[in-house]
Amino acid sequence: MSEISLSPDGGRIVYVTPQGTRGSSAVVFDLTSDKSSAIGLSDGARLSPVSCGWASSARLICKFYGIGDVGAVRVSYTRLLGFDADGTHALYLGRKSSDSDRINQFDGNVIDWRSGDGKVLMARNFVPSNGAIGSNIRGDYRQGLGVELVDATTGRGQMVERPDTDVDEYYADGQGSIRMKSEMPTHADGQLKGDVIYSYRPTGQAAWKLFSKSLRDDKDSLDPLGVDGTRDVAFAAKRLNGRLALYSVALDGSMKTELVSSNPEVDVASIVRIGRHGRIIGATYVTDRRQIDYFDPEYKKLAASLARALPKTPLIRLLDASADESKLLVYAGSDVDAGTYYLYTKATRKLDGLIDARPELTGVSLGQMSAVRFPAADGTMVPAYLTLPPGGATKGLPAIVMPHGGPNYRDEWGFDWLVQFFAARGYAVLQPQFRGSSGYGDAWFANNGFHSWELAIGDVSDAGRWLVKQGIADPGKLGIVGWSYGGYAALQSNVVDPDLFKAVVAIAPVTDLGRTKDEAEGFSNHDLVERQIGSGENITKGSPARHADRFKAPVLLFHGDTDINVGVGQSRLMDRRLRAAGKKSTLVVFPKLDHQLNDSTVRAELLSKSDAFLRAAFGE
């Protein structure tokens, strides 16, 4: 289930939930009558809804995502549609264009939901169109990213910011004004330089003024995360002692900058907003668990009260609020609880349970997740999460090392469906936050897990060795399972140490670094991907598909054939090379599915086949 949204009057919620195997529906729940109705939005064949929000208490705007072919290139695209709360009066809210010079890939994004009068500020991608041949009617030649005030009922838009081809993003202040923008310069051939230029409008002025420049190799940039119009400030991230900290920056023209939140161990991860105007009330960071540093006194006090009221579900988030902030949507969960959504009413201080995030798991015992540290070969202590199967077994277990994707990512303490499946089947699961993971500062990031793959893969392998040394894992029943970059790590770890893991499950993995660079050919980020991956011997040494002869463990590969993050050709190449080298390899390709494999039947098949494969490899 996606995050839920509260109507401006606080009377209804809406959330997107699976319907069938690949389809989705929006569920509208009336908080007064306790009645719900489902709006079928997609069968999953083309477009799938990502989220829905309230333009007014009677009108919804839903964002859809899809993948399509443009010539020989497969690309993603988004579309916005408006609906009445009962699902009627559907209306496409993007800009209609015919005879256009190029495709309209991302046609709209709500950047300010405003007070709930049915009109929202929407960043729209303008695509130029020409007049019909032989006609005296001029075409619309506006192009680039602009902002319009859009009526969600009629679709009519009023121009707020004229389209600009150089602009990548606009920042609204929650008060109906656009106060910041970002531009991403390109080379003459259209390739991104990797720089970002941020501009802002000082209070009461129309002209833009430089806010900051984030240059490609700059380690001291000031990168805005959001604007709070109620305080007339921007909140921005900047490094402090090698880690990202949060600063407030005055938008009155003085650029007065003050430190708001920092942590000596980890980066500040994000800002926390509340209400339809998006007031910024706090910042988050993740040590062993995600923490929220509230700098709004009212919400800091409320968060403390909620923590006392819900001690068994310490992952508490404020998700949304009514227009007057008298009612709040609250989520609370933990490692062994997928979570519950609540409605909090300020006037009565009452907390009412609404819906469970995963009602199917009610009464099911889950494995507890613990934060641990293990030593890498060079003595560095690597953070990780260890989940043991429910029931109390702790020694001599079948075990899995599960490196995360990204690699610019990190795992967190909390419910994880993939981890919990394997724990329920009796496996110990260790998730290493290897060097190359994000969130731990510049030194830990170590130039990312592709460019510095030897360091990252070394930590992943050391995670397996630690499981064996601690007696948690039976050395003959140690496997590795990963998705995306995690799949790459699972495969490459067997190139580095073929004897350590006895079975490999790789889901949508990168298998050849050179091919990854080739997949970015024709896209504006090709140069950036090339810099991330590296070149020379790094490509040859760091590509598991080029070392299939070293594998001893059997390999199981899964991939969707419409994956645009990592092409299915990567898994096909790995499978072909392994088979040619006389190794055991099985490839399962899922038709018409992308990187996330969002199909309940397919995910169930993936889990059951992975379990059976691991048990067979372990001789069970």
For the residues of 204-220, what is the DSSP string, one character each?
Answer: T--S-EEEEEE-TT-SS
Is the distance from CB of 228 to CB of 260 less than 8 angstroms? no
**Cis bond before residue 224 (omega within 30° of 0):** no
CA distance 525 to 190: 9
Report the length, in residues, of the chain. 620
| Tokens read off for 64 | 């859809």
CA distance 170 to 200: 10
Residues near 98 by beta carbon (within 8 Å), at least 6 away in sequence: 129
Is the distance from CB of 318 to CB of 272 less than 8 angstroms? yes
Q: Which of 62-71, 466-475, 490-499, 522-531 has the lowest mean pLDDT?
A: 522-531
Three-state secondary structure of 73-94: EEEEEEEEEEEECCCCCCEECC
Is the pLDDT confidence value at 209 over 50? yes
Is the pLDDT confidence value at 1 over 80? no
Is the pLDDT confidence value at 541 over 50? yes
pLDDT at 602: 96
CB atoms within 10 A of CB 121: 23
Q: Which of 45-49, 172-176, 442-446 has the lowest mean pLDDT?
A: 45-49
Helix pair 417-424, 600-617: axis angle to 10 deg: 40
Measured at the CA of 505, the angle between CA 476 and CA 421, to 5 degrees, comes to 85
* Across 115-122, average pLDDT: 95
User: Tens digits of per-residue pLDDT, 321-336?
Assistant: 999 999 999 999 999 9
pLDDT at 381: 98
Strands 109-112 and 91-92: unpaired
Is the distance from CB of 414 to CB of 315 less than 8 angstroms? yes
* Across 245-270, average pLDDT: 96
CB atoms within 10 A of CB 86: 11
| Tokens read off for 378 | 């060079």
pLDDT at 580: 98
Between 72 and 456, the more confident residue is 456
pLDDT at 533: 75
Is the distance from CB of 259 to CB of 383 less than 8 angstroms? no
Residues near 137 by beta carbon (within 8 Å), at least 6 away in sequence: 131
Is the pLDDT confidence value at 135 over 50? no
Count Cα atoms within 13 angstroms, Cβ side, for 527: 13
Is the pLDDT confidence value at 139 over 90? no
DSSP H or E stretch at residue 66: strand 59-70
Q: In 3D, which of 330, 285, 279, 323 has the Cα closest to residue 307?
A: 330
Confidence of residue 98 (pLDDT cuts 50, 70, 90): low
CA distance 142 to 95: 12
Average pLDDT, the chain: 91
Is the pLDDT confidence value at 94 over 90? no
Is the pLDDT confidence value at 95 over 90? no
CA distance 182 to 470: 50
Please state the pTM of the whole predicted model. 0.93
Burial class for 207, CB neighbours closer than 10 Å (0-12, 13-18, 19+): exposed
Distances (CA, A) of 507 to 381, 423, 473: 28, 18, 23
- Sign for the pseudo-dihedral over CA of 139, 144, 147, 150: positive
Is the pLDDT confidence value at 474 over 70? yes
Between 75 and 54, the more confident residue is 54
CA distance 508 to 179: 40
Is the pLDDT confidence value at 138 over 60? no
Confidence of residue 525 (pLDDT cuts 50, 70, 90): low
Phi/psi of residue 107, each to 5°? -95, 0
**SS3 breakdown of the chain: % helix, strand, coil, rounded to 5?**
20, 40, 40
Is the pLDDT confidence value at 446 over 90? no
pLDDT at 91: 94
Q: Is 589 helix (H, G, I), strand (E, B) or coil?
A: strand
Query: Where in 346-455 does DSSP place strands (E)?
Result: 350-356, 369-375, 381-387, 397-401, 428-432
DSSP H or E stretch at residue 277: none
Is the pLDDT confidence value at 213 over 80? yes
Is the pLDDT confidence value at 39 over 60? yes
Highest mean pLDDT pick, 173-187, 261-275, 441-455? 261-275
CA distance 508 to 603: 13
* Across 133-151, average pLDDT: 68
pLDDT at 588: 98
